[in-house]
């Protein structure tokens, strides 16, 4: 039986929320136009797109905080949407009291549910009875997130939920969201986090919305394939138009060709022209490496520090070395000393005991996430970059502006009007102006979108020098780290290997449920986790089987078709050359035969392109089936 107040698609499958013909514009910036979306029962959707392309705006439209310029959004009556509002507002005194405000009316006495979520998000048991005003802004955001999670809405909207979480809390949130029974939409620059909790991707790309089953890699691969096919179609059609125009111009004045020429003119007028796809700008950069001949840049021995100068110490007896090709990632709970270590290595703090010995040839570049106050609000972006390095030419400054996506007039924007993400890119640009051989990067991906995060991963991995990076992003850790400095509950561990090796041999203190001791359902969750490796292996085996059965035959057909298209295009070029020769010699018989063959070839080539496009669609469906099996 159809449900009241719920839309249905053509397959009679319920759609919890639908949007049709949605458009939204701010001034001259069009975020999306004529866009459609739907959210089905139990779907976990990752919302992707570049910064400024409308992801947060779409969330605000779904909650009624903003309205589309055109189109409608349909939400069932009584359907509850939970959204983490960036404008924090608390009415209770203590953390636990405020979190309990989110509990549904029939669960008001189930304070253990609020305690469980607060614990998972990093609040100690004693923290829950403390006044909210004593906590940092980051922990206040965590409290607001806890209040949304405990409210158990039908649809949960999370906009960058990992921004103020450490790696332990992120891993807890992943586990929590995987078992979320309602609908979920997530915006996150953390690709690993998103892929772990979603089963669909909704992308805002070229002012349109597109939803597909699968993970981020499936979505971006499909977009790339579709745009490649589109561009081949466009170039093929452009060639056909040009050939027809040449043919018309060559034979327009010859009476015996008049009927054929008129036919060509009509055909040319009916041909639809595909627009060339605009180049989508990506953050693209590389760090300027200064040569370094020795093996070791820095040695840290017995490093000890506390802000009061005495015990208890934030860092105690830490030893490690930094070799010239090391990429050392620093991770762990917030408040344990990660940023303090970076400031010690940068020279902004002095140790209580121990030594930091640097080679005399070390040139450091330090990116401090919280240091946007050092920017001059009265300067333009270009002026701020120029002031960072007096010896750099304006051309070089402009090149850095372009690399940081401040091209054209945007380089003239005042620093004071920039967003947090833009200021982050500006500070990164200042870092690129001077050569270095030791990068110190404190959460460099915090304000970047997913594509920009990948650019950062590529730049750090390709840097011809050493780097120490504070990060909570497990995808970043897996891609970059050659060593790990882990701030764990029982102290700091220096692990000489990659992140997966660290997880296998060391692991996190709280990754197996240590931070969930307040959870009365811990045993059930632990039992489920213990079964999950076997289930994961089974699902991976199914995915491999489906890939062999579905994908490989399709990819083989696609390869054969692409080669056939290439041969057709080569033959078309040969025929055009022969037609020119026949026209110049006045060989009417050859002209007629070549024109007929060229026309037939054009029809066959169009058919090949259409067949290729259909295969690409089948390929996307196959990817969706494989994603389901995972």
Q: What is the mean pLDDT of residues 30-41?
A: 91
Query: Worst-scoring range by mean pLDDT, 25-39, 129-143, 559-573?
Result: 559-573
Rounded CA-CA distance 203/216 in Å is 9
Other C-beta atoms closer than 10 Å to the C-beta of 138 total 14
Bigger pLDDT: 16 vs 103:
103
Q: Give one DSSP letter per residue of 237-254, joined into a string.
A: HHHHHHHHHHHHHHHTT-
Confidence at residue 198, expressed as pLDDT on a 0 to 100 scale: 95
Report pLDDT digits (tens) over 181-225.
899 999 999 999 999 999 999 999 988 999 998 899 889 888 888
Q: What is the mean pLDDT of residues 611-627?
A: 69
Lookup result for tokens 């090149």? 399
Cα radius of gyration rounded to whole Å, the chain: 30
Confidence at residue 14, expressed as pLDDT on a 0 to 100 scale: 66
513 pLDDT band (50/70/90 cuts)? Answer: very low
Q: What is the mean pLDDT of residues 121-131?
A: 92
Could you tell me what percent of the chain has a pLDDT over 70?
82
Confidence at residue 511, expressed as pLDDT on a 0 to 100 scale: 43
| Full-model pTM | 0.72
What are the start-end ranges of the E strands in 385-482? Answer: 438-442, 466-470
- Asked if CATH classification 3.40.50.300 holds for the domain at 7-213, the reply, yes or no, is yes
Bigger pLDDT: 87 vs 330:
330
Rounded CA-CA distance 425/595 in Å is 56
Confidence at residue 396, expressed as pLDDT on a 0 to 100 scale: 83
Confidence at residue 487, expressed as pLDDT on a 0 to 100 scale: 93
Rounded CA-CA distance 388/109 in Å is 57
Confidence at residue 137, expressed as pLDDT on a 0 to 100 scale: 80
DSSP state of 198: -
Other C-beta atoms closer than 10 Å to the C-beta of 314 total 20
Segment holding 208, helix H or strand E: strand 208-213
Phi, psi of 536 (to 5 degrees): -60, -40
Please name which of 246, 323, 269, 260 lies closest in space to residue 292, comparing C-alpha atoms: 323
Bigger pLDDT: 540 vs 145:
145
Query: Worst-scoring range by mean pLDDT, 264-268, 313-317, 480-484?
Result: 264-268
Query: Worst-scoring range by mean pLDDT, 8-22, 415-429, 444-458, 586-600?
Result: 8-22
Report pLDDT digits (tens) over 541-589.
666 676 677 777 877 787 787 778 778 877 877 777 676 677 666 677 7
| Residue 294 pLDDT greater than 70, yes or no | yes
| Residue 280 pLDDT greater than 80, yes or no | no
Segment holding 139, helix H or strand E: helix 137-150
Max CA separation in the chain (angstroms):
102
> Helix axis angle, 552-585 relative to 588-629, nearest 10°?
160
The encoded tokens of residue 485 equal 């400095």
Rounded CA-CA distance 489/535 in Å is 30
Report pLDDT digits (tens) over 399-432.
888 878 787 888 898 988 887 778 888 888 888 8
Phi, psi of 305 (to 5 degrees): -155, 140
Please name which of 231, 174, 225, 167 lies closest in space to residue 198, comparing C-alpha atoms: 174
Lookup result for tokens 């189109």? 71
For 38, half-sphere exposure in the C-beta direction (CA atoms, 13 angstrom radius) is 14
The encoded tokens of residue 402 equal 């372009």
Rounded CA-CA distance 182/78 in Å is 14
The strands making up 17-26's β-sheet, listed across from edge to edge, are 29-39, 17-26, 70-74
The strands making up 155-159's β-sheet, listed across from edge to edge, are 81-83, 155-159, 183-187, 44-48, 200-205, 208-213
Confidence at residue 356, expressed as pLDDT on a 0 to 100 scale: 96
Q: What is the mean pLDDT of residues 36-58?
A: 91
Bigger pLDDT: 255 vs 399:
399
Confidence at residue 268, expressed as pLDDT on a 0 to 100 scale: 60
100 pLDDT band (50/70/90 cuts)? Answer: very high
252 pLDDT band (50/70/90 cuts)? Answer: low
Q: Is 250 left (phi over 0), alpha (psi -120 to 50) or beta?
A: alpha
Q: Where in the chain are the domains?
A: 7-213, 220-270, 296-363+435-514, 374-434, 544-629
Write the CB contacts of 214 (distance below 8 Å, at least 6 apart in sequence).
199, 200, 201, 623, 624, 626, 627
| Residue 131 pLDDT greater than 70, yes or no | yes
| Residue 30 pLDDT greater than 70, yes or no | yes
SS3 211: strand
Bigger pLDDT: 529 vs 287:
287
Write the CB contacts of 395 (distance below 8 Å, at least 6 apart in sequence).
none
Query: Worst-scoring range by mean pLDDT, 21-25, 68-72, 322-326, 402-406?
Result: 402-406
| Residue 628 pLDDT greater than 60, yes or no | no
Sign of the dihedral defined by the CA atoms of residues 94, 99, 104, 106, in that order: negative
**CATH of 296-363+435-514 given 3.30.479.30, 3.20.20.70, 3.40.50.300, 3.40.50.1370:** 3.40.50.300
Rounded CA-CA distance 305/316 in Å is 6
């Amino acid at each position: 039986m159809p449900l009241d107040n719920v839309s249905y698609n053509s397959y009679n499958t319920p759609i919890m929320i639908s949007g049709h013909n949605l458009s939204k514009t701010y001034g001259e910036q069009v975020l999306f136009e004529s866009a459609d979306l739907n959210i089905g029962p139990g779907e976990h959707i990752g919302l992707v797109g570049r910064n400024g392309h409308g992801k947060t705006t779409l969330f605000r439209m779904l909650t009624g905080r903003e309205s589309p310029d055109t189109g409608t959004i349909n939400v069932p009556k009584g359907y509850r949407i939970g959204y983490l509002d960036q404008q924090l507002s608390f009415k209770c005194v203590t953390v636990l009291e405020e979190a309990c405000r989110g509990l549904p009316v029939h669960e008001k006495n189930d304070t253990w549910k609020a305690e469980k979520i607060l614990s998972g998000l990093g609040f100690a048991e004693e923290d829950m009875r403390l006044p909210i005003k004593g906590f940092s802004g980051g922990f206040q955001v965590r409290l607001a997130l806890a209040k949304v999670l405990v409210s158990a809405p039908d649809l949960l909207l999370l906009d960058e939920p990992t921004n103020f979480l450490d790696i332990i809390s992120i891993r807890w949130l992943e586990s929590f969201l995987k078992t979320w029974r309602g609908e979920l939409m997530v915006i996150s620059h953390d690709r690993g986090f998103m892929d772990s909790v979603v089963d669909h991707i909704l992308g805002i790309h070229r002012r349109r919305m597109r939803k597909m089953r699968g993970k981020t890699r499936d979505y971006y691969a499909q977009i790339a394939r579709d745009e490649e096919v589109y561009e081949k179609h466009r170039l093929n059609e452009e060639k056909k138009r040009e050939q027809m125009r040449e043919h018309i111009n060559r034979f327009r004045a010859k009476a015996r060709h008049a009927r054929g020429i008129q036919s060509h003119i009509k055909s040319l007028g009916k041909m639809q022209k595909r627009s060339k796809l605009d180049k989508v700008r990506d953050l693209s950069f590389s760090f300027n490496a200064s040569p370094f001949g020795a093996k070791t840049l820095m040695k840290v021995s017995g490093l000890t520090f506390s802000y009061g100068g005495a015990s208890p110490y934030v860092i105690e007896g830490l030893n490690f070395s930094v070799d010239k090709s090391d990429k050392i990632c620093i991770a762990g709970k917030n408040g344990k000393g990660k940023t303090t270590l970076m400031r010690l290595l940068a020279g902004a703090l002095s140790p209580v005991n121990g030594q930091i010995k640097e080679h005399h040839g070390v040139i450091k570049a330090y990116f401090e996430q919280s240091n946007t106050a050092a920017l001059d609000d009265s300067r333009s972006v270009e002026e701020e970059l120029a002031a960072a390095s007096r010896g750099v030419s304006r051309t070089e400054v402009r090149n850095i502006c372009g690399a940081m996506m401040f091209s054209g007039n945007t380089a003239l924007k005042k620093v004071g009007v920039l967003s947090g993400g833009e200021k982050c890119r500006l500070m990164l640009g200042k870092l690129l102006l001077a050569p270095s051989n030791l990068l110190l990067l404190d959460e460099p991906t915090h304000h970047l979108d997913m594509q920009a995060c990948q650019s950062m991963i590529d730049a750090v991995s390709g840097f011809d020098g050493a780097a120490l990076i504070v990060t909570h992003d497990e995808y970043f850790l897996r891609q970059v780290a050659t060593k790990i400095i882990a701030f764990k509950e029982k102290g700091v561990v220096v692990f000489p290997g990659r992140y997966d090796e660290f997880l296998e041999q060391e692991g996190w203190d709280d990754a197996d449920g240590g931070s969930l001791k307040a959870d009365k359902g811990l045993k059930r969750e632990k039992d489920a986790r213990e079964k999950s490796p076997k289930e994961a292996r089974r699902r991976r085996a199914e995915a491999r089987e489906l890939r062999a059965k579905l994908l490989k035959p399709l990819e083989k057909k696609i390869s054969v078709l692409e080669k056939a298209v290439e041969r057709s295009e080569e033959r078309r070029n040969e025929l055009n050359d022969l037609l020119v020769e026949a026209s110049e010699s006045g060989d009417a018989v050859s002209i007629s035969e070549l024109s007929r063959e060229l026309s037939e070839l054009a029809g066959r080539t169009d058919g090949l392109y259409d067949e290729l496009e259909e295969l690409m669609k089948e390929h996307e469906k196959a990817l969706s089936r494989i994603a389901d099996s995972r």
